[in-house]
A and B are shown apart, each in its own frame.
Chain A
């Protein structure tokens, strides 16, 4: 495990970028890491580009990731990749929506949680914590749907 994990989440307003970021940062928090997350509110509901920065590890100063230093970029919309790809470090991993992935989901609105499923394979955070945080974050009637989406992501070949 690296000392600091830098994760950038991108998508469009309404896709649940902020919720996905809440889940990841809360999971890191509950795993005992120092954590900083930065996002910008205001325009995020209106279909525009949304970016959040998540950094966790033993000690975090800046809430923003430096260009070229992101270990992971998770894109909920592949068309958003272009504008952030220079954030990715040389050995970083770009996680876009795999082809046909949306069709595997019962409800397309769970894409944000399914993408965390893919990301989770690379992070040192236990399944128990992921499950607990997802349950606490999403509305209760969508809990099962989201937990299933998470599993679909976790099992996806990527």
Chain B
């Protein structure tokens, strides 16, 4: 697919200008990812994310949103182009230490079933060799941050939690080592609609307090509007459009109109 076919608008939101524009947290230039069979999952993407900004990527399943995240935390290696994360090129990072600076939340959560909530949340601090008291204090703090009572939940196993509680623990785990960058891949996708909108609102206030750089992937445009400073539309591996959240629905892109209609239908 030809990327020129889509208009590439780059409207930086005023907020991101106010934050130090020099501190670029993530930069992708002409990044592609191609499977050995020649199929391109990500095609020539340019993207720049200022420190403290939240970018939401929306798009259909299979459009390449998840692949973009995995390129950033080096779970996949770009077949061409340049990725810069937290001031260093991907190639210069040791992938292990890069990933420990990036909070990562996936839809299936992926809590370790044989670890208590405490051990799950304390995972990265423990890998990083923090002293034990500090890990425990941090686990409590993180649980409180995501609205779970440490007394009740620290000793539980994931199998003893509800879906919403698991998601919260997943977010707490990703935040535990205080990473400057968070990648969230449909973190609330598996929740029932009520729990989901509850957790979205909570997450928005959490995000405002923490001021972390975040890339958030979703196919729910409501979620994108609630959480994003900017919204990017990914289609067939191409960043078809990127704009400030409030301008997103104003586009005449057919897929954006489809999103708009789905909201109006409500």
A and B physically associate: no
B interface residue numbers (CB < 8 A to A): none
